């Protein structure tokens, strides 16, 4: 395996992940090393469905109606489209390069995919339940996480090798601003209500806080080793620290760290629901940790398949 391919398989992070509008019933987990997408029944605390997907499934986004999952396959060079209600693969959409980060327009109609090996986003249009390639957008080097504004008009892209965030006009399909952040930003989370975005900076071990309107970084928050993805809940930020096996918690008002919570080995994807629960995919020990945002405790641990990533939006 090439060094670039190995880095792609081993190093992933989250795109936009803010608290959902309703309690989560299922977690849709990309089991990268197991070659599958798994449906976890959160009430039952177990995997209830396994859908084979080759190509090292990594990133995930859900359609606006949450009936389909769009999954990147960096070693399969494309996207898998999954019918979640039927539990079956609908289509495979080929793409060049290294498709990794993925995000779906919350208004429907478009899906955006980051090319880890390039400086571009692929644009795909939803049509009859599948995706049709529909052009590219130039961004910074090695784009990873993608966040989308609620109206679908603006994209925010973490460019790992450029140490920047690209602000993209989705309608014009062009980069309109570049914001310097920390070293090797991977996951990016948008909090539209507060007008802020957050990047997890993998090699500087911190989080950059961005004022979206001003288009600039306004603060940094220290984290554990190799922060990857950020979720927000109950006035706090939660950052997965891959090398520390923990989640760093920080205050969204003071931008100060509060504590670290031990989870599983190599935590990657994280997402919050409206009930103050956070779900963490632990790539190294094949588990899903559930955290309580109020008590800052792990309340449950669910076994998953091999190499869970859940890099993106995975709760429904």
Task: Name the H helices within the chain.
Answer: 3-10
Mean pLDDT of the region 224-244: 98
Cα dihedral 123→129→130→131 (10° resolution): -10
Q: Return the CATH number at 135.
A: 2.130.10.10
CA atoms within 13 A on the CB side of 47: 19
pLDDT for residue 236:
98
Asked if the model's pLDDT at residue 7 lies above 60, the reply is no
Number of folded domains that form the chain = 1
Which tens digits make up the pLDDT trace of 103-148?
999 999 999 999 999 999 999 999 887 899 999 999 999 999 999 9
pLDDT for residue 87:
95
C-beta of residue 245 within 8 angstroms of C-beta of residue 223? no
Question: Which of 18-22, 81-85, 148-152, 178-182 is predicted least confidently?
Answer: 18-22
208 burial via Cβ count (<10 Å: 0-12, 13-18, 19+): buried
The Cα–Cα gap between 55 and 58 comes to 9
Average pLDDT, the chain: 93
Output the CA–CA distances (angstroms, integers) from residue 262 to 205, 225, 239, in the order listed. 17, 13, 12
Give, in degrees to the nearest 5, the angle at Cα 162 between 132 and 71.
Answer: 30
Q: Which residue has the tokens 């920047």?
A: 164
Cβ neighbours of residue 268 under 8 Å, at least 6 residues apart?
Answer: 12, 13, 14, 228, 229, 240, 242, 280, 281, 282, 283, 308, 309, 310, 311
**What percent of the chain has a predicted confidence (pLDDT) above 70?**
93
Range of the structural domain that residue 48 is part of: 3-312
């Amino acid at each position: 395996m090439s060094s670039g391919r190995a880095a792609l398989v081993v190093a992933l992070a989250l795109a936009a992940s803010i608290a959902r509008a309703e309690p989560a019933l299922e977690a849709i987990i990309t089991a990268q090393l197991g070659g599958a997408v798994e449906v976890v029944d959160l009430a039952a605390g177990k995997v209830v469905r396994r859908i084979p997907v080759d190509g090292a499934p990594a990133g995930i986004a859900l359609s606006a109606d949450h009936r389909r999952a769009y999954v990147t396959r960096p070693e399969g060079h494309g996207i898998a489209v999954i019918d979640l209600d039927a539990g079956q693969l609908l289509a495979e959409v080929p793409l060049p390069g290294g498709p990794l980060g993925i995000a779906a327009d919350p208004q429907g109609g478009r899906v955006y995919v980051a090319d880890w090996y390039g400086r571009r986003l692929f644009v795909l249009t939803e049509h009859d339940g599948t995706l049709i390639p529909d052009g590219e957008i130039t961004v910074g080097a090695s784009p990873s996480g993608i966040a989308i504004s609620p109206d679908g008009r603006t994209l925010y892209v973490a460019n790992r090798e450029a140490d920047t965030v690209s602000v993209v006009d989705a309608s014009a399909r062009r980069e309109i601003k570049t914001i310097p952040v920390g070293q090797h930003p991977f996951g990016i989370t948008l909090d539209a209500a507060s007008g802020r975005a957050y990047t997890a900076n993998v090699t500087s071990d911190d989080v950059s806080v961005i004022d979206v309107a001003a288009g600039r970084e306004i603060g940094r928050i220290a984290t554990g080793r190799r922060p990857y993805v950020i979720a927000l809940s109950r006035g706090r930020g939660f950052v997965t620290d891959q090398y520390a096996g923990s989640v760093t918690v920080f205050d969204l008002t003071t931008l100060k760290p509060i504590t670290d919570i031990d989870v599983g080995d190599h935590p990657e994807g994280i997402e919050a629901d409206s009930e103050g629960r956070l779900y963490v995919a632990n790539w190294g020990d094949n588990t899903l940790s559930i955290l309580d945002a109020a008590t800052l405790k792990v309340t449950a641990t669910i076994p998953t398949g091999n190499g869970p990533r859940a890099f993106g939006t995975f709760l429904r």
